[in-house]
Amino acid sequence: MDIQAKALEYWNIGHDLALNWITSPAAWSQFAVLVLAYLLAVLINRKLGKTLRALLTPSDETRPIFASAMNMALLFLPLLLPLLAYGFTAIGEQATRAAFGSGDVIAFGKRIFIFLAVKRLINSVIYSPFLKLLGKYIFIPLAAIYALGLLPTLMSFLGDTNVAIGNINFSLLAILRGVIAGSILFWLGRWSNDQSAQYIRAQDDMRVPTRELATKAVELSIFGACFLLLMSIMGINLSALAVFGGAIGVGLGFGLQKIASNFISGIILLLEGQATVGDFVELDGGESGTIVKMLSRATILETYDGKWIVVPNEDFITTRITNWSDAGSGNRYEADFSVSYDTDINKVPAIVEAAVATHPDVLDSPEKPDCELRGFGDSGIDFCVEFWVEGIDDGKNKYTSDVLFLIWNALKDNGIEIPYPHRVVEIKGSLPKT
């Protein structure tokens, strides 16, 4: 019954207000100012919009970080028309209030332009699915309530309604402010972090571990600042969070222990530079791959067959990891082969070493190719050639395969036979009659 009475009261207020606007010369004057302000905004938007688009469109020579900022600014151009209309309407409101002592109609129109700006912001500017959902169900309804002039009443109701969590009291208004401000802050924080990371990683004069460490430091700074600012907006005294200190400590001791350990291990990895992005590593369990990302909790390896392996950072500290890409050192590989027992084996090392040395990726330092006699096999004499290269013998690099081709061709050119297994079959007794 109270709801019906309240609705009827608002209906009567709206009916009287609309009737007053229709019959008032001052109201018609304000309508005229609204139309004039909108037409002027359309005219200026056409000219100013083209100029701003030309200025903000990045050229091919624009640095990536500035190009990203310019492209971001271009996204907000659809807001130019309603904001211009709002500005011209605000000027008209001052004039009508000075002339007629009233400006309710033009103030309503001004709020309508704000509603249109919010709607364009959600539909044409924001591309984050989460923010679009938030805008659809929170921002646009709030803008509509503001346009109808009911926002102060709603804010008063939300401010008077409290929710208690332990010793901390939140008003619904504080929660709403937190949701809105938090969404905007962390969206801007994510965008800022992505741009900062892109800029830092483009600095080729910095060591890779230094770049990754700087990226993590910027990320922590940005989101730490967003968190503190959000607490201030919600009106939460940070000292009140000490109540949760014991619970957080227990959580770190049990459920969050691994997360904290992996986070600290990631910082140690970046500081010490034991492994960094671009290194080819082999794990203690036998998996191997190139490090493509070093995150706060884990490191991601990409294998040569395209799979991604997510390795907790703690494993890089507590287990044995083989790093095949340590800067300034090569890797030694071996290629096994055999020759016939009829061969003069004294000639083989020189022939093979000379052939392997012709490979463009085989190094002379720390050692030149070295051919060694390994043993006397069932079918031939076993040799092995050792060689050093800069890189990993996998993926796009096939050093051992190339070396075996060189050995094959060199032995063929020198008349040296590569043996194949021979088997002697002894038949006891007489052969079966056919």
Task: Classify residue 2: in a domain, yes or no.
Answer: no
pLDDT at position 335: 92
**CB-CB contact of 86 with 115 (8 Å):** no
pLDDT at position 172: 77
* Angle separating helix axes 245-253 and 257-272, nearest 10 degrees: 80
- Domain shared by 97 and 55, yes or no: yes
Our count of domains for the chain comes to 4
- Domain shared by 186 and 319, yes or no: no
In the chain, which stretches have pLDDT less than 50?
Answer: 1, 327
Q: Give the residue from 182, 211, 236 where a domain finishes.
A: 236
Q: Give the residue from 142, 160, 178 where a domain finishes.
A: 160
Q: Give the residue from 115, 140, 160 where a domain finishes.
A: 160
* Angle separating helix axes 25-56 and 80-100, nearest 10 degrees: 150
Give me the residue label for tokens 């309240």: 6
- Domain shared by 76 and 139, yes or no: yes
Phi and psi torsions of 170, nearest 5°: -120, 140
CA-based torsion, 342, 347, 353, 356: positive or negative: negative
Among candidates 130, 135, 133, 131, which has minimal Cα distance to 118? 135
- CATH code for position 364: 3.30.70.100
- Domain shared by 275 and 355, yes or no: no
Q: How far is residue 239's CA from residue 168's CA, in Å, rounded to a whole number? A: 11
- CATH code for position 275: 2.30.30.60
Q: Which two tokens stand for residue 285?
A: 């369990």
Task: Classify residue 200: in a domain, yes or no.
Answer: yes
pLDDT at position 1: 45
**By residue range, what is the domain housing residue 410?**
330-414
CA torsion angle 21 25 26 28 (round to 10): 70
pLDDT at position 355: 94
- Domain shared by 191 and 105, yes or no: no
Bridge partners of 298, per DSSP, are 312
Q: Which two tokens stand for residue 297?
A: 């909790």
Among candidates 377, 365, 280, which has minimal Cα distance to 336? 377
Task: Classify residue 12: in a domain, yes or no.
Answer: no
Task: Classify residue 419: in a domain, yes or no.
Answer: no
Q: How many CB atoms lie within 10 A of CB 221?
A: 13
pLDDT at position 12: 55
Q: First-to-last CA distance in the chain?
A: 114
Phi and psi torsions of 163, nearest 5°: -125, 125
Task: Classify residue 110: in a domain, yes or no.
Answer: yes
Beta-carbon contacts of residue 198 (< 8 Å; ≥ 6 apart):
64, 65, 68
Fill in the amino acid letter for 197: A
